């Protein structure tokens, strides 16, 4: 392992060798932060005698988690299987599957996606007789999500917004929504971290178990953490204080999801005795691109100054074109692609066009089609968002959790069974009236609804 540490530059090595106590790694873009995280894990296990199961490594995306797992496995082999390495949500789900019964849920709980949330909010609006044209499902879900990211529970939300007509209505929806989630033995994406925090704070034995287990904690992209993610990390790291976070105070792309840049800026204050290491050598970009980047970020008023540098070539000079409108911009892009392709013998597949919002692709697509340029849009409808896949998942959810009324409603007429809205509404009313699941009403249709059982019973 010692020879592997020789592959690190001096600053990377300094970060990896920081074993005990809190460490903040300020990592500029392309500075090898993933390498630092993976080598730190390998160093802890191979050189410091740390057991793999005593390490918790948290990333933001499944892609980043898979990349890190692969890299760590290349360094330490099968020991990777004993490390807790994953996203905030996957780590929390793992904890909840084991202990969520302490919060009144069954371990087979379902995780509702956006479509499920919309269906549930729609039911809440109907039950509360609230106009869905004024309070759209999307706006209500966004408001509830923001509240959860700020760790504001329904009662607190109502208290904070007393006298605000709109927010009081949303507070009532939020309260009923949470009640119905629990009735369905379900949670939504934003509940996962908050429920884990509740579990740890309300159960001293569980907190002690995980505090003892996770002797070393590593967190990637720390600048993108929100209030609940910060709280979770703080709780778990409090006992041992062996925490290393990696982030860039000059980046931040998740503020719309509640990310709080102060988490990284206040790390020294939150974790006394913090060692700070800056990674400023860039391996990804040319010199000219870094010059532009440094000019932009030097205007930031953030706490940790850094100047990115590279040993790479200077490269092409970046340039800016200001179009008259989106079609002028698209025409310029098209002309530039053709010019570079023809002069330098490139293929169309060598080019990528990046845009900030999906709506911006329209003009570019129009011009590409007009000029006969082949293209494909990356990131269309995801596999798990396809209707047929969601139907299959709903069946599987219902098998695992017969209290999941939303999944039952989704599949009861998939394939068509001739069950009308009147019968379905009656089933739902009976379920509410008898404080049981819709599945149980249907299963015992001869007892609960003998006059209308027909197709429902079949």
96 contacts 192 by C-beta, under 8 angstroms = yes
Q: Are residues 231 and 283 in the same domain?
A: yes
Token code pair at residue 455: 């197709």
Token code pair at residue 150: 């700020």
Is residue 302 included in any domain, yes or no?
no
pLDDT for the residue 73: 95
Is residue 252 included in any domain, yes or no?
yes
DSSP letter assigned to residue 272: T
DSSP letter assigned to residue 150: T
Which residues constitute the domain of residue 209? 2-94+194-297
Q: Are residues 199 and 53 in the same domain?
A: yes
- Residue 348: Cβ within 10 Å count: 12
Token code pair at residue 328: 């002028």
**Rounded Cα gap, residues 136 and 427, in angstroms:** 26
Q: What is the largest CA-CA distance in the chain?
A: 81
Is residue 101 included in any domain, yes or no?
no
DSSP letter assigned to residue 128: T
Is residue 377 included in any domain, yes or no?
no
Q: What is the number of residues in the chain?
A: 458
Residue 450 pLDDT class (50, 70, 90 cuts): low
**Rounded Cα gap, residues 393 and 399, in angstroms:** 10
Question: Model confidence over 200-251: pLDDT tens digits?
Answer: 999 999 999 999 999 999 999 999 999 999 999 999 999 999 999 999 988 8
Alpha-carbon torsion 241, 50, 194, 357, what sign? positive
Q: Are residues 221 and 359 in the same domain?
A: no
The answer to whether residue 310 scores a pLDDT higher than 50 is: yes
Place of tokens 């070393």: 216
Is residue 140 included in any domain, yes or no?
yes
Q: Are residues 361 and 390 in the same domain?
A: no
Is residue 312 included in any domain, yes or no?
no
Domain count, the chain: 4
Q: Is 239 helix (H, G, I), strand (E, B) or coil?
A: coil
Question: Model confidence over 83-142: pLDDT tens digits?
Answer: 999 999 999 999 999 999 999 999 999 999 999 999 999 999 999 999 999 999 999 999
**Rounded Cα gap, residues 400 and 404, in angstroms:** 9
Q: Are residues 89 and 231 in the same domain?
A: yes
Q: Are residues 357 and 426 in the same domain?
A: no
Q: Are residues 51 and 9 in the same domain?
A: yes
Q: List the CATH number of the domain containing 400.
A: 1.10.486.10
The answer to whether residue 455 scores a pLDDT higher than 60 is: no
208 contacts 240 by C-beta, under 8 angstroms = no
The answer to whether residue 416 scores a pLDDT higher than 60 is: yes
Residue at which a domain ends, from 321, 343, 371: 371
Among the listed residues 404, 436, 446, 408, the one whose alpha carbon sits nearest the alpha carbon of residue 424: 408
pLDDT for the residue 2: 47
156 contacts 75 by C-beta, under 8 angstroms = no
Beta-bridge mates of residue 246: 25
Token code pair at residue 161: 């917004």
Q: Are residues 289 and 199 in the same domain?
A: yes
Beta-bridge mates of residue 87: 59
Among the listed residues 109, 119, 177, the one whose alpha carbon sits nearest the alpha carbon of residue 143: 177
Q: Are residues 397 and 364 in the same domain?
A: no
pLDDT for the residue 458: 54
259 contacts 226 by C-beta, under 8 angstroms = yes
Exposed/middle/buried for 400, CB within 10 Å: 0-12, 13-18, 19+? Answer: middle
pLDDT for the residue 1: 47
Q: Are residues 215 and 358 in the same domain?
A: no
Element (H, E) at 333: helix 326-344
| Residue percentage of the chain with pLDDT more than 90 | 71
Question: Model confidence over 166-202: pLDDT tens digits?
Answer: 999 999 999 999 999 999 999 999 999 999 999 999 9
Place of tokens 């599949």: 411
Question: Model confidence over 57-82: pLDDT tens digits?
Answer: 999 899 999 999 999 999 999 999 99
Q: Are residues 69 and 146 in the same domain?
A: no
**Rounded Cα gap, residues 169 and 161, in angstroms:** 10
Is residue 129 included in any domain, yes or no?
yes
Is residue 104 included in any domain, yes or no?
no
Q: List the CATH number of the domain containing 155.
A: 1.10.10.160
Q: Are residues 21 and 52 in the same domain?
A: yes
């Amino acid at each position: 392992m010692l020879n592997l540490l020789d592959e690190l530059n001096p600053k990377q090595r300094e970060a990896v060798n920081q074993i005990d106590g809190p460490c903040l790694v300020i990592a500029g873009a392309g500075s090898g932060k993933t390498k630092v995280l993976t080598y730190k894990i390998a160093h802890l296990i191979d050189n410091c005698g740390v057991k793999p199961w005593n390490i918790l490594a948290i990333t933001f995306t499944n892609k980043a988690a898979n990349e890190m797992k692969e890299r760590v496995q290349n360094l330490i082999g099968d020991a990777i299987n004993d490390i807790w390495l994953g996203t905030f949500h996957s780590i929390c789900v793992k904890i909840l599957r084991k202990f969520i019964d302490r919060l009144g849920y069954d371990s087979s709980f379902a995780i509702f996606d956006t479509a499920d949330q919309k269906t549930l909010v729609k039911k809440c609006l109907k039950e509360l007789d609230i106009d869905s044209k004024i309070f759209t499902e999307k706006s209500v879900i966004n408001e509830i999500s923001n509240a959860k990211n700020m760790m504001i529970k329904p009662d607190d939300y109502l208290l904070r917004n007393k006298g605000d007509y709109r927010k009081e209505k949303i507070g009532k929806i939020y309260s009923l929504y949470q009640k119905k989630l629990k009735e369905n033995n379900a949670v939504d994406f934003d509940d996962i971290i908050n429920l884990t925090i509740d579990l740890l704070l309300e159960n001293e034995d569980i907190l002690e178990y995980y505090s003892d287990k996770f002797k070393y904690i590593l967190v990637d992209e720390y600048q993108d953490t929100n209030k609940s993610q910060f709280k979770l990390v703080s709780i778990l790291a409090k006992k041992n204080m062996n925490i290393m976070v990696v982030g860039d105070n000059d980046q931040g792309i998740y503020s719309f999801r509640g990310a709080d840049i102060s988490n990284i800026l206040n790390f020294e204050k939150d974790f006394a005795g913090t060692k700070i290491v800056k990674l400023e050598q860039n391996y990804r970009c040319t010199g000219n691109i870094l010059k532009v980047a440094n000019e932009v970020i030097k205007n930031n008023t953030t706490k940790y100054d850094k100047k990115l540098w590279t040993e790479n070539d200077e490269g092409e000079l970046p340039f800016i074109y200001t179009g008259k409108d989106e079609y002028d911009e698209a025409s310029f892009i098209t002309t530039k692609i053709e010019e570079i392709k023809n002069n330098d013998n490139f293929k169309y597949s060598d080019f990528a066009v990046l845009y900030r919002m999906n709506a911006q692709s329209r003009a570019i697509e129009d011009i590409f089609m007009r000029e006969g340029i082949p293209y494909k849009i990356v990131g269309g409808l995801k596999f798990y968002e396809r209707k047929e896949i969601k139907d299959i998942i709903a069946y599987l959810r219902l098998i695992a959790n017969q209290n999941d009324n939303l999944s039952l409603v989704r599949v009861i007429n998939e394939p068509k069974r001739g069950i009308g809205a009147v019968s379905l509404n009656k089933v739902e009313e009976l379920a509410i009236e008898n404080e049981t699941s819709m599945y149980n009403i249907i299963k015992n249709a001869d007892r609960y609804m003998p006059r209308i059982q027909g197709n429902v019973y079949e």
